[in-house]
Amino acid sequence: MARGDVLRIDFPISQGPGSEQTGTRPAIVVDIDLPSGNLPTLVVVPLTSQLNAQRFPYTFVVAPSLHNGLTAPSVALCFQLRAIDRARIRQTIGILEQHYMDKLTLEMKRMLGIS
């Protein structure tokens, strides 16, 4: 897996009330490949096709393309940045275009207060 890969992931179903993304959905890989070996987890930003999610801060819309593998406009939920076990990965569906990676980096920096 590489930064910018778009994956289909089985996010765990929540056992209680909450607003986390669950179920099988696409996500963007945001961590980098480590030359010393793979970690058992991967840091990702989930995507949703619910366009009303744009109302939240730290989001942006990704248009579907053959390159990124999405089939519908999707909102990147940077505020739901999370680590997932690699066993939850179902498939790689594409690679996010560079201009979206630039938006992703900007939104994560804003959210984390990094200049």
pLDDT in tens, 42-87: 999 999 999 999 999 999 999 999 999 999 999 999 999 999 999 9
Domain holding 85, by residue range, is 24-31+40-112
Whether residue 3 lies inside any domain: the answer is no
Whether residue 65 lies inside any domain: the answer is yes
Angle, CA of 22, 28 and 33, to the nearest 5°: 120
Task: Tell me the per-residue pLDDT of 5-25, one tens digit each, with 9 for 90 and over.
Answer: 999 999 877 666 656 666 789
Find the Cα–Cα–Cα–Cα dihedral 63, 64, 66, 70, rounded to 10°: 130
Look at residue 40 and tell me whether its pLDDT is greater than 90.
no
Q: Indicate which CATH number applies to the domain containing 93.
A: 2.30.30.110
Whether residue 7 lies inside any domain: the answer is no
Whether residue 73 lies inside any domain: the answer is yes
**Comparison of pLDDT for 35 and 68, the residue scoring more:** 68
Total domains in the fold of the chain? 1
Whether residue 1 lies inside any domain: the answer is no
108 and 81 Cβ atoms separated by less than 8 Å: yes
Whether residue 9 lies inside any domain: the answer is no
Identify the pLDDT of residue 13: 74
Whether residue 13 lies inside any domain: the answer is no
Enter the pTM of the model: 0.89
Whether residue 15 lies inside any domain: the answer is no
Look at residue 115 and tell me whether its pLDDT is greater than 90.
no
